[in-house]
Structure 1
């Protein structure tokens, strides 16, 4: 029975014609099944030019202009609109494999584009072992060409070499010939994920399926190398009944083996905010705390302060107003584990914990019953403590999260060009704010979940736009 199930799953799995040594592979099982994703990107592209379909259409083929939303365009190039397309991005160039409806027409269109980009007067294909190949130097440097066998074609273009033949054209031609030489094997990972488009990142062990509509884009995938701790299977969370609020709201059930890793991340942030705090004592408290946690965690980021000072480490630490709640196994034991904090520089005792005055702001460590709350903003910490429920509830996934896209857009807008000049670390956030900020501001919600499965993580994200543009 197991073999039958496995055989059925493999039969249903997409089979990317992917090149070896690829950094990223994009696989589209059917070019004519992209209407949903294209509809979302058309809507999103009204606010984020980077997402407009016309932008990524240019990346689908090394030298032909493909428009999957127009079957006649594909057929006019000799490409089968109902066939697959696989794009492999390698360090030495790009290979795109398509199924052909009219191989002769494809060769004619390819010849015209290759000639126009090479300065040559004609293209001379060669055929050996049933594979027809073309490789021609480009005026802009490097080589371009294709390999064709039957109804399958893999076209390529190299990225380097300048005007001197560095041999990469021959390497890419050999790989393209290999790809059309035999049928690709089904990828069972893709068969387990919904999607009309798949993105594979082999070096990161990541596979993502993408599906959409005019108002929603869903990404669902698996990864083996995410920098995350392992999580428990579904179960009861003390935060299960809480209503998501703030810029980010996330609940997690960290597995026992991952609690120390999760606490270690918080310890590193606290140590950065309080460089005067003795590292050995901070580590000792962190270990004692991790030993007294169940693994149930809640993270709340209310938002970003107006005009924060992002040019200093402490300014960046206190820029986002946030708090973390963690369930403890024994309140009395946790209180004892936190006692050394009283001797840290800038520490003040509170009725339910400690306040730690550091450069740039104040850290709060408070204990309410069996809930430890740590945060960098008094109002957020207090609000979270007040909202903690008396009883928990079961959650369908080990981790869930919601993002308020409008608050996120507002937060990204706080990163200025001068911030980027003084800190390259902020360049990515500035770019995201510039490119996606208007789209986020016009989005309804972003939500998702994550589970741990067999040493890997499976995750899903849903991005929603308003029903009416």
Structure 2
């Protein structure tokens, strides 16, 4: 049965024409099925130029002006709109393979573009036609066509020989191999690298992204059905529930330990480790993480400012509350620690951290109000979760958070450059978005499977 299921998956999987030594693959199984995705991108592009189809359509072909928002325009280039398009991005250039509906029209359109930069050289051998021309910038562009299959190329070096050879091999393939990774996720457009693959689809009001990744800095998860936090309503900037696998609990606790050590450098490292190791043995793996908002006070180049900027709290279900209370006892002797009725508060560099116990729930937070809100909202009964992890983002609060990254911080810390770029490029779109939801599961060989839904208001 497993062999039959695998065979069925491979049979249904997209089959891109991919060149050797490709770094990134972009594949569209059928060009005329992009309307829903381009409708979202067009609307989103009004607020984010990066998402506008006019900004990325040029990457689909090395030199032909493909307009994915108008499938009928492909006929003007001789390209079959019902066929696939595969882009292989390599260090020495890129290749784009398409199915040709009218070879004469395709060749004329291509020659007209390439002839602008100089002499066009063409030749046909055993039914394979090759055309190439200088770009005028020390590189070459051209295509190889055989029957209805054409692969065009653009080199980034002074030699295009390797690209031409790859193009010739690809057009000679009668049936390219199916990509099992793409076949495992739905989509009308796929992006694949060595680290993973994801598929995209959409409507005018929503974007769907689904894929797998091998390099996410996350612990392994497992779906255990009922979560003690399953009945809680999402709130704040970020609301996430997770079911960490037993083998990942230590990793999850380790990230909390590192955060504590960063903002409390005077806390004895061996004792911090002793407390967290004892707590790890008492955790069931059910977690709740929430970020209410972000308020930056100071330079984000400082780790303590980054830690306390996000007003957050983490809740974890425990096996034995009495054992957890005993494991927390050493905190009373930590610098700046004060005992509470249900736990401890500790003065740290940049603020205070709170560790509190309510029934079978241990709550760790960096803001008194957020910590108390999580404690008060813990439900008495659990509820099922469809995935091992689910999360909800408030895009408007995310936009406000990103807007607090200053140009001076970016100039002083390259790690913040991505956040600043996201604020500039995606901030206006996030501010107009309705919600972003998603989920994760573990996949074989340490990978993770993810789902993301980005929703815009019904009316612009």
Name the TM tier (shorter chain): over 0.9
1:444 corresponds to which residue? Answer: 434
Deviation larger for 103-112 or 394-403: 103-112
2:139 corresponds to which residue? Answer: 142
Deviation larger for 140-149 or 54-63: 140-149
Alignment counterpart, residue 190 of structure 2, candidates 174, 194, 198? 198
1:177 lines up with 2:168 in the alignment: yes
Where do 5+ consecutive residues of structure 2 fail to align? none
SS at match of 1:139: coil
SS at match of 1:432: helix
CA distance in 2, matches of 1:358, 1:33: 55
1:43 corresponds to which residue? Answer: 43
Q: Any residues of structure 2 matched to 1:94-173 within 5 Å, and which? A: 94-116=94-116, 118-120=117-119, 123-159=120-156, 161=157, 165=158, 167=159, 169-173=160-164
Shift of 1:72: 3.1
**Per-residue deviation, residues 64-119 of structure 1 (Å, max 9, x unmatched):** 11012223321111110111001111122111110001122212211221221x33
SS at match of 2:77: coil
Shift of 1:3: 4.2
1:258 lines up with 2:252 in the alignment: no
Alignment counterpart, residue 418 of structure 1, candidates 398, 408, 423? 408
Aligned 8 A contact 2:210 2:450 in 1: yes
Q: Any residues of structure 2 matched to 1:57-76 within 5 Å, and which? A: 57-76=57-76
Aligned 8 A contact 1:250 1:401 in 2: yes
Deviation larger for 398-407 or 309-318: 309-318
2:320 corresponds to which residue? Answer: 330
Alignment counterpart, residue 365 of structure 1, candidates 355, 361, 364? 355
SS at match of 2:145: strand
Shift of 1:351: 1.5
RMSD (Å), alpha carbons: 1.5
SS at match of 1:272: helix
Aligned 8 A contact 2:296 2:305 in 1: no
1:244 lines up with 2:209 in the alignment: no
SS at match of 2:405: coil
Shift of 1:432: 0.2
**TM-score, normalisation: structure 2:** 0.96
Q: Any residues of structure 2 matched to 1:430-441 within 5 Å, and which? A: 430-441=420-431
Aligned 8 A contact 2:410 2:417 in 1: yes
Alignment counterpart, residue 210 of structure 1, candidates 196, 200, 208? 200
CA distance in 1, matches of 2:179, 2:72: 30
Alignment counterpart, residue 188 of structure 1, candidates 180, 186, 190? 180
CA distance in 2, matches of 1:249, 1:412: 17
Shift of 1:308: 4.8
1:53 corresponds to which residue? Answer: 53
Aligned 8 A contact 1:307 1:414 in 2: no
Shift of 1:2: 4.5
Aligned 8 A contact 1:308 1:319 in 2: no
Where do 5+ consecutive residues of structure 1 fail to align? none
CA distance in 1, matches of 2:125, 2:332: 79
Aligned 8 A contact 1:234 1:396 in 2: no
CA distance in 2, matches of 1:93, 1:64: 15
SS at match of 1:125: strand
SS at match of 1:427: helix
CA distance in 2, matches of 1:431, 1:404: 19
CA distance in 2, matches of 1:379, 1:402: 20
Aligned residues: 458
2:9 corresponds to which residue? Answer: 9
2:212 corresponds to which residue? Answer: 222
Aligned 8 A contact 1:32 1:69 in 2: no
CA distance in 2, matches of 1:192, 1:311: 40
SS at match of 2:201: strand
**TM-score, normalisation: structure 1:** 0.94
Alignment counterpart, residue 355 of structure 1, candidates 345, 351, 360? 345
C-alpha spacing 1:363/1:46, structure 2 compared with 1 (3 Å) = same
1:21 lines up with 2:18 in the alignment: no
Aligned 8 A contact 2:53 2:68 in 1: no
